[in-house]
Structure 1
Amino acid sequence: MKPLPQVLAFDVFGTVVDWHTSLVREIDAMDLGVSGDEFALAWRAQYGPAMQRVMSGELGWTLLDDLHRMVLDELLVRFRIRNLNEVQKRQLNRVWHRLDPWPDSVAGLTRLKSRFTICTLSNGNIGLLTNMAKRAGLPWDCILSAEVFRAYKPDPATYLGVARVFDLEPAQVMLVAAHHEDLAGARACGLQTAYIERPLEFGALRPKDVSPRSENDWHAANILALAEQLSYQ
């Protein structure tokens, strides 16, 4: 068994907060004449490609808020939504600041915080993550983001950046995430990894396979369950 890490760094979208349910609720409430589910999934589907434009050098460094807005403008055309003014578009784009936590997140993070330093390691920008934490009551010790490192995950600068911020060896940091590709990037940099099951991340109609993978150091049904597991070590 490896020594326990000193810092737990959390992916946020999907791992700590339920982006799908949150987006669907707000989109449906706006009565745009489209399926909130379809619109939310289409928006999320462009998350990776938008960041890839930055990572490839096609775009200079761009905050996630601005990437979300670029994608939103394209989706409004695709879904033929023409009745939103600029104030409404800006408000809709900031839905990503208002995502609800999964039911276990606040309690789980609070318990982990009593023993570990807990921080974000998200592609979200600092303002977005701060607003989200304030609204949802997420008790971070520190907010770290792609914005700090001017690189998006899975760039090694992000994972190694957490260790550097806290003056630790990579193995003293653990990434906690609901996405295997994120965890693989962290492991390649020497971090420990914990997988959190979020089978309904993309909605009840599209359950994810959350089977354990041996390459991860820890596997838990949710954040509170991870806190319980770590409490015995």
Structure 2
Amino acid sequence: MAGTNELKGNIQALVFDQYGTIVDMQAGLTAAVTDFLKKKGWDDEPHRFVTWWRRTHFENSMIDSLSDGPHTPYREIGQQAVSYVMDRCGFSYSDDEVRWLVSEIERLKPFPEVIAALERLAGTYKLAILSNGDVDMLKAAKPHIGFPFDHVISVQAAGYFKPHRATYKKAAEIIGLPPDNILFVANHAFDCIGAKSCGIPTAFIDRRKRPFGHTPYQPDIIVKDFKELADVLC
């Protein structure tokens, strides 16, 4: 791993994943669907439904990128994933319910320590988001996050979902810096691996205290949350 002081000397911008890194996707969606699931007769923990939904969404987005065809919007893949999971559960549902469930992604709130840490980091670095979300979804999410990033970048600009290399390269191009002057920050190992494979240093937010995995693309920094990230970098 690169020395922290050397890394700090090179970094001019931080690029963050949004879903699960900036905003608490699991808790937020679980809270949103709890009453809905009760009415549908779901007799298991609500978070299990959300995990199933998110895993299906992720799998389908990877298929979309690997198929190398026209980019499918994140919202559309999300609606397909929710419909699939509800079909598997045997629920009856309407198109409006599917659209509502996916729209809850736009209203997710940041983890408690995120905004204060971003305010500290903004004094030293450019701050940007690189998200698998669509442009309109990221725009709708801005007031719920409540922080003025220098750039909010959708992977739609690259035509692939993360962790395709094209997404990180496009972000560096938009920000206007070479890869080694950027630090990519994510709560997901796959996202850090994708960025690191492009020559972008990475910071892994290890909220869940899980092993990163055996890969040559190890993160340069591992921290438990955004406060610790700001402590390391400021």
Instruction: Give TM-score scaled by structure 2 length.
Output: 0.87
Aligned length: 222
Q: Does 1:80 align with 2:90?
A: yes
Q: Does 1:101 align with 2:110?
A: yes
| Aligned counterparts of 1:101 and 1:81: Cα–Cα separation in 2 | 31
Give the helix-richer structure, 1 or 2: 2
CA contact 2:192–2:202 (8 Å) conserved in 1 = yes
* Alignment map for 1:94-173 (pairs within 5 Å): 94-173=103-182
Partner of 1:5: 11
Q: Does 1:33 align with 2:62?
A: no
CA contact 2:186–2:203 (8 Å) conserved in 1 = yes
CA distances 1:66-106 after superposition (whole Å, capped 9, x unpaired): 10001111112111221x33323211121111112111111
Q: Does 1:220 align with 2:230?
A: no
Partner of 2:3: none
| Aligned counterparts of 2:47 and 2:86: Cα–Cα separation in 1 | 15
Instruction: Give TM-score scaled by structure 1 length.
Output: 0.87
Report runs of 4+ in structure 1 exceeding 4 Å deviation: 210-214
CA contact 2:70–2:159 (8 Å) conserved in 1 = no
CA contact 1:163–1:170 (8 Å) conserved in 2 = yes
Partner of 1:43: 53
Report the CA distance shift for 1:106/1:62 in structure 2 as closer, same or farther (over 3 A): same
Query: What amino acid is the match of 1:226?
Result: L
**What's the offset of the Cα at 1:215?**
3.2
| Aligned counterparts of 2:225 and 2:213: Cα–Cα separation in 1 | 13
Query: What amino acid is the match of 1:178?
Result: N
Query: What amino acid is the match of 2:41?
Result: G
CA distances 1:127-157 after superposition (whole Å, capped 9, x unpaired): 2122222113133221112111111111111
Which moved further from structure 2: 130-139 or 169-178?
130-139
Aligned CA-pair RMSD: 2.0
Specify the SS of the correspondent of 1:88: helix
Q: Does 1:22 align with 2:32?
A: no
